[in-house]
Amino acid sequence: MSKSVTSQETIARVREALARIATVRDTDGRMLVNLPIMYPSGAMAVVEVVRNQDRYWVSDMGHGLLETEFMAADSYYGRVAHKAAEEFGVDFDGNSIFALWVTEGRLEAAIICVANASNRACAEAIRQASEVHARRQNERIFARIVKVFGERFVTKSAPISGAHASWDAHNVVVLPNDRRAVFEFMSEHQNSVSSKFLMFTDIRKAHADFSLNAVVRSIDGLDEKAQLVGDIANFVEIKASDEVFRQYARAA
């Protein structure tokens, strides 16, 4: 088989794959474009395209905002959406990210920019909401472990050197023989899970005798990926008794 035939077949297969990845459907005169751009929830981006004479209106139909509402992060969306829209050269009206009066020659760019701006704004709003939530939860945990272990044995945050990096650990209890117990809040959000997994793994390599604990709302609520943190740290539910916190502090 010649190289040109093989190349033509490859191009055909790639075109077929692209046709399956990005699709267009007509819904009551509105063109909806499904794109391979994933929101943090796993939902794929959908962009509306409406023609007005020789120009087009392209909009995310408020899907970015809706995605943040599912994650209780909608109060952070407005500011980051304005910034994301500006960076991608599109607009935001408080609900939808959109592009107005798009010429036919700029239609592809408008579709891509609207979808990416919507996705970026959504992800950033959820990240900020997650960080604020984690900060509040760590403050609650700090107050709790101060009550359990005593103020002079607890620090709100302290740098701990791992095998490869230094980490700003929260809610650190100073134990005999220079040991430490760390009680870090971890949410179900993938960013929180990933950051705790990296931190605990690195610290564990350098300090095998430290007690590393991920404080969670509910152990049963953790998915399979979050459960991986349990390979290198303990899970402690935030509602656990004082004695449970003491037991995990003593455990490596």
Quick check: 60 pLDDT over 80? yes
pLDDT at 7: 84
Q: What is the mean pLDDT of residues 50-79?
A: 95
Quick check: 3 pLDDT over 70? no
Q: Where are the domains of the chain?
A: 3-129, 150-250
CA distance 92 to 121: 11
CA distance 50 to 26: 10
Going across the sheet that includes 30-38, the strands are 23-27, 30-38, 44-52, 55-59, 97-102, 91-92
Residue 81 or residue 4, greater confidence: 81
The structure's pTM equals 0.78
C-alpha distance from residue 197 to each of 82, 113, 152, 186, 226 (Å): 33, 33, 28, 10, 9
Q: What is the mean pLDDT of residues 141-145?
A: 95
Angle at 210 between CA 196 and CA 177, to 5 degrees: 155
CA distance 119 to 117: 5
Per-residue tokens: 220:
């049963």
CA distance 249 to 42: 36
What sign for the dihedral angle of Cα 70, 72, 78, 82? negative
For the segment 147-166, what is each residue's pLDDT rounded down to a tens digit?
A: 999 999 999 999 999 999 99
> Predicted confidence band at 22 (pLDDT cuts at 50, 70, 90)?
confident
Residues 6+ apart with CB under 8 A from 76: 68, 124, 125, 126, 128, 129
CA distance 163 to 198: 11
> In whole angstroms, what separates CA 140 from the centre of its chain?
22
pLDDT at 2: 53
Identify which of 48, 27, 26 has the alpha carbon closest to the alpha carbon of residue 114.
48
pLDDT at 18: 82
Mean pLDDT of the chain: 93
Q: What is the CATH number of domain 150-250?
A: 3.40.1350.10
Cβ 181 vs Cβ 210: under 8 Å:
yes
For the segment 163-179, what is each residue's pLDDT rounded down to a tens digit?
A: 999 999 999 999 988 89
